[in-house]
Structures are given as C-alpha cells and as structure tokens.
C-alpha cells in the first residue's frame, strides 16, 4: 500500500502575514495517481522505512495516555480526560495532535494557543520537510 504525505497542504494559504502550504504538492499527487509506481515522486518503501524512527519511551507512553483521555471524555469525565491529555502533551510535546485535541474544547483560546505553540518552534518546521523537496535529502 502506498500513501501520500498527509501532513502537507495542497496549496498555499495565508493568515494575515503568515503563509503556509505549498503549490507543488497537488501536481505531485496527480502525477502519482496517473503514473503509479512509475511516478518520480514515489519513494522506495525500504528507503522510507529506514527514516522512520522508533518513538522514545515518553512518546510511546504518550499515545495510550492520550487514548485514556479520549476514553474518559466519552464517559463524560472531562476532568479526568483533561488530566490525561495534559500528561500526553508533557510526554510528547512535539505531537501537535495532542495539543489540537486540547484546544478543540476551548475554541475562543485555540488561535492564541496555536500561535504561542508555533512561536515556540523558533524556526523549526511545523511539518516535517518532504525529502527531496525541502532540502531534506
């Protein structure tokens, strides 16, 4: 099975002075859809597998911790859910999904929370660069 990079916007977007996304991604997906295995944008699965890092102990613990938060939320226990979501964020602060989940319950604060978290990146990419396209060879 082959999949596209789901962490990429298919076009450029602007939010005030802030710009994100890319215009070359959609044409690459079209080429891949038309040419399949012959697409120049398709990487060998073995090369991709070599780049996938095993999560550290804290990141590995963050996932079930996050899921416990989801479970308690579905049971109506938001106090306990928030405790687990906060713990997941501390265990794996680079996982934006954990932060977005938390922010989804405070939509009036979500924009400010996202901006603060983004500024903490201090120039590191929001999304992992695409090998061969963003100087990430």
Structural domain spans, the chain = 1-52, 54-124
Q: State the chain's mean pLDDT as an integer.
A: 83
Per the CB < 8 A criterion, the answer to whether 130 and 8 are in contact is: yes
Tell me the C-alpha distance between 113 and 119, whole Å.
Answer: 10
**Nearest CA to 111 among 15, 9, 17?**
15
For residues 41 and 119, the model is more confident at 119
User: CB neighbours of 38 closer than 8 A, spacing ≥ 6?
Assistant: none
Please report the pLDDT score of residue 62 as a whole number.
97
Please state, in angstroms and as integers, the Cα–Cα distance from residue 136 to each residue in 23, 68, 70, following that order: 18, 35, 35
* pLDDT at residue 4 tops 70: no
Place of tokens 């109506």: 76
pLDDT tens string 49-103: 887 878 899 999 999 999 999 999 999 999 999 999 999 999 998 888 888 887 8
pLDDT tens string 24-36: 878 888 898 999 8
Tell me the C-alpha distance between 42 and 79, whole Å.
Answer: 45
Beta bridge partners of 20: 13
């Amino acid at each position: 099975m082959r999949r596209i990079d789901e962490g990429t916007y298919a076009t450029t977007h602007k939010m005030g002075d802030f710009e994100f996304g890319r215009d070359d991604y959609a044409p690459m997906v079209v080429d891949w859809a038309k040419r399949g295995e012959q697409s120049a944008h398709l990487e060998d699965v073995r090369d991709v597998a070599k780049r996938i890092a095993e999560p550290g102990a804290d990141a590995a613990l963050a996932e079930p911790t996050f899921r416990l938060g989801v479970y308690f939320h579905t049971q109506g226990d938001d106090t306990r859910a928030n405790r687990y979501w906060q713990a997941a964020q501390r265990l794996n602060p680079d996982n934006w999904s954990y932060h977005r989940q938390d922010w989804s319950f405070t939509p009036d604060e979500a924009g400010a929370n996202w901006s603060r978290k983004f500024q903490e990146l201090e120039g590191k990419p929001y999304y992992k660069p695409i090998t061969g396209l963003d100087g990430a060879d």
